[in-house]
Amino acid sequence: MRTVWIWGDQLNRDLAHLRGAVPDDSRVLLVVSGAKLTARRWHVQKLHLVVSAMRHFAAELEDRGFDVDLRRAPTMRAGLEAHVAEYRPDLVRAMEPASLTGDRLLRDLAGSGSLPCGLEVVDSDHFLCHWRDFDTWADGRDHLKMEDFYRWRRRETGYLMDGDQPAGGRWNLDHDNREPPTDDLADTAPEPVTSRLDDLDRDSVGWLPDSTFGAPPDGTWATTRRRALARLRHFVDHALPRFGDHQDAMVSGAWALNHSLLSHALNLGLLHPREVCDAVEGAYRAGDAPLNAAEGFIRQVIGWREYTWGVYRRWMPEYAHHNALGAVLDVPPAFTGEADTDMACVADTVRHIHDHAYAHHIPRLMVLANLATSAGIDPARLTDWMHASFIDGYDWVMVPNVVGMGTFADGGRMSTKPYVSGGAYIDRMSDHCGGCRYDRSKRVGADACPFTTLYWDFLDRHRDRLSGNHRLARAYHTLDRLKDLGSVRERAGEVRQRLSDGTL
């Protein structure tokens, strides 16, 4: 009998490793690794989601007649070796993991000959575009652009295509999806689906180390495929129709708005990108969702999500160590919750992370990463903290998003300019600034907005590298006309120190 080894982010009966397996010829192994549980100071909801989802999937397979070995072990390797010693399978079948640490383990096991049985590693079909297909697309290109990749994937998959043309005549409707929040946005957004914690959910809390942080699990995140499908239906029926226009908006206290909250289920394998995109396109074709909402969401899935995995596989492991701007500061206590902050946007984002292990893409990019880039926070440390803090955080997710998109630490391989801004952007796209003690219009003085101060100081500090960037030409023209640049530099030094001290 063979063993099918299922990893904690491959929890789907229809993925390549389990496809065709039946109880008569296959035993299933899942390993809960103690080393993984203690590798970081994880958000408790993130760790609980993975452990509970693994246990629920094991129970589901047992109900289907499989002999399942759900094994707690010091490491993934130790768990496999103990399983092989006990059950003596003829073959271990595994699907290539999404992240490189797992990939390296499988290659080491295959090359070392340490297993007394065969090891078969099948290609991942957790994504719509395999990394080798991405490499074929990328080879020979001087610059990789997500938009080029996205249009190729639209043609290949047929999503939102009318013949050989994009639905509506435009590939990208992002310009239509940047409306600031309306007064009723939070009130009209649907409440997220929650599930009552069952016995396995509650018992899984006891499997977690004491080092976790954050609010305890409350049923927000799906630990079974059935629950994930309910969340998909809820999004398509109730949130997708209003998702598009305001997907970049931020509202105090409103952590979900019309966002899908499906990334956790996609990254665990509980949902497949194909069924998610099918459901969203179906709503558009039926007239139940506008094109800008459907296109904006599908672009996030078949565009950015799969592009991120492709560049991760292509550029790692060296990519994780890029630090083009020489940033050295530690993750500030205002981010980790170890200190309060008077910055209203940061405080609201950190509150959402504590309560839900989640903030949508704009607070991640234009609040956390924006401040981190402007202040000079070490991208590797920021990546590690975000990996541990977000419900959908994995190595393949966070390294490209933080090193490339978030902090410009790769020097521009993923984005053409740093995503930094002063307080004016946050004021335009949120309701945070009205009640904040800092004035977004000021760059100097005790009440100057830290984002505004640091934005101009950032451009000044990195003039040699960035002044030739055509997308920053207007900003540098304005910088050259500032009469108080010396005071800006002085105030920026104070801001960075207070950010590090937890007194900002």
Contact 322, 411 (CB under 8 A): yes
Amino acid at 322: H
Residue 212 pLDDT: 97
Could you read off the pLDDT tens digit of each residue along the chain, which spans 504 residues?
Answer: 999 999 999 999 999 999 999 999 999 999 999 999 999 999 999 999 999 999 999 999 999 999 999 999 999 999 999 999 999 999 999 999 999 999 999 999 988 878 889 999 999 999 999 999 999 999 988 889 999 999 999 999 999 999 999 999 999 988 878 889 999 999 999 999 999 999 999 999 999 999 999 999 999 999 999 999 999 999 999 999 999 889 999 999 999 999 999 999 999 999 999 999 999 999 999 999 999 999 999 999 999 999 999 999 999 999 999 999 999 999 999 999 999 999 999 999 999 999 999 999 999 999 999 999 999 999 999 999 999 999 999 999 999 999 999 999 999 999 889 999 999 999 999 999 998 999 999 999 999 999 999 999 999 999 999 999 999 999 999 999 999 999 999 999 999 999 999 999
Number of H helices, E strands in the chain: 24, 7
3-state secondary structure of 213: strand
What is the DSSP code string of 351-382?
HHHHHHS---HHIIIIIIIHHHHHHTB-HHHH
According to the 3-state scheme, what is the secondary structure of 251-295? ECCECCCCCCCCHHHHHHCCCCHHHHHHHHHHHHHCCCCCHHHHH
All domains of the chain in start order, with CATH:
2-122 (3.40.50.620), 131-213+224-315 (1.25.40.80), 321-501 (1.10.579.10)
Helix H or strand E segment including 225: helix 225-234
pLDDT score for 111: 81
Q: Report helix, strand or coil for 223.
A: coil
Phi, psi of 20 (to 5 degrees): 90, -10
d(CA 331, CA 378): 7
Between CA 491 and CA 457 the distance in angstroms is: 9
Q: Which of 32, 1, 6 is nearest to 17 (CA)?
A: 6
Cα separation, 197 vs 199, in Å, equals: 7
Rounded to the nearest 5°, which phi and psi values hold at 355? -80, -35
Helix (H, G, I), strand (E, B), or coil: what is residue 439? strand
Buried-exposed string 4-31: b where 16+ CB fall within 10 A, e elsewhere = bbbbbbbbbeebbbbeebeeeebbbbbb
Whether the model pTM is above 0.85 = yes
Strand order in the sheet with 118-122: 68-73, 26-33, 2-6, 91-95, 118-122
The tokens describing 283, both together, are 């709503």
